[in-house]
Chains A and B, each alone.
Chain A
Amino acid sequence: NAGVTQTPKFQVLKTGQSMTLQCAQDMNHEYMSWYRQDPGMGLRLIHYSVGAGITDQGEVPNGYNVSRSTTEDFPLRLLSAAPSQTSVYFCASSYVRHVQETQYFGPGTRLLVL
């Protein structure tokens, strides 16, 4: 199993550009989520999904869109990039109903918005 994969690893955008961060998992996990990590702020949840076709907002959803058309994929779209979206983005997945199931994190995408 590849686990959770994210592409790209690095990206530089100009303000106003749009892009999609890709996330895929091959563990048949129901639950997938996107976090952003900023110094001193920890991991903040952007959007999450408890299954294909079901998504919900986390604590910092503004400026981001998600969709979940398949169990495996959970792309994160930046609609119009802003310097405040410079961050490291992590995708994670897990089973929902296994009480002690761990969340598996991808390696991250480092995004710089100029």
Chain B
Amino acid sequence: QQQVKQSPQSLIVQKGGISIINCAYENTAFDYFPWYQQFPGKGPALLIAIRPDVSEKKEGRFTISFNKSAKQFSLHIMDSQPGDSATYFCAARNERGSTLGRLYFGRGTQLTVWP
């Protein structure tokens, strides 16, 4: 059972455009939502993360929007650049209980930004 559902699977955006990746979850025990960025041949690396007590978090060109009632969150990349071309994973973590610390990942979105 997929705990975190991510879409789209792939995304092609023109340079300067906005890239939007969406994720949804069901488990209301999740209370930490990071996004990871992975370049070919490398391990994933944390890009940005949000807690459910805020609806938005911005770091440079990257913004997470969080909708607690809809159990959805999304990554927006403003002014997308060719260097942003990578695979992006959303994730969720349950901070309590027997699965303490465990991350549940979406299946990833392969972003290509055309120059």
Chain A residues, Cβ within 8 Å of B106: 42
CB distance from B31 to the nearest CB of A (A): 8
B residues with CB within 8 A of A = 6, 9, 32, 34, 36, 41-46, 49, 51, 89, 95, 100-108
Q: Does A82 contact B (CB under 8 A)?
A: no
Chain B residues, Cβ within 8 Å of A107: 42-43
Pick the contact of A102 from B34, B41, B89 — CB < 8 Å? B34
B108 closest partner in A (C-beta): A42
A106-B43 contact, Cβ under 8 Å, with A40-B107, A94-B101, A96-B100: yes
B107 touches A41 (CB 8 A): yes
B2 closest partner in A (C-beta): A42
- How many residues does chain A have at the interface if contact means C-beta atoms less than 8 Å apart? 26
Chain A residues, Cβ within 8 Å of B89: 42-43
B105 touches A42 (CB 8 A): yes
B3 closest partner in A (C-beta): A59
Chain A residues, Cβ within 8 Å of B105: 35, 42-45
Most chain B beta-carbon contacts within 10 A, residue among A31, A94, A100: A100
